[in-house]
Amino acid sequence: MARADEAAVEASEASLDNVKQRALRSEAAWRNMANLTMKMDKEREKARLERERLQTEPQGDDQSMPGHDLAKV
């Protein structure tokens, strides 16, 4: 977000319209990248917690599954 803030300051201080527009586009791009990074980090953490949960769950055998009777096979 620091880069986006820098671009916002640059845009507010720019006297030329093309410089201002470039800085505003840059700000939007940096904010978008920062938001995507935060979203990705959250999803990775969620996936890590799910993997951890699955690893700590007790493993059931086939007989515990409804409708599966190994004696009939």
pLDDT of residue 29: 97
Q: What is the DSSP string of 3-65?
A: HHHHHHHHHHH--SHHHHHHHHHHHHHHHHHHHHHHHHHHHHHHHHHHHHHHHHSPPPPGGGS
Domain definitions of the chain by residue range: 1-48
Q: Provide the mean pLDDT of the chain.
A: 87
pLDDT at 63 over 90: no
Cβ–Cβ < 8 Å for 24, 12: no
pLDDT at 41 over 60: yes
Tell me the mean pLDDT in the region 59-66. Answer: 59
Tell me the mean pLDDT in the region 7-15. Answer: 93
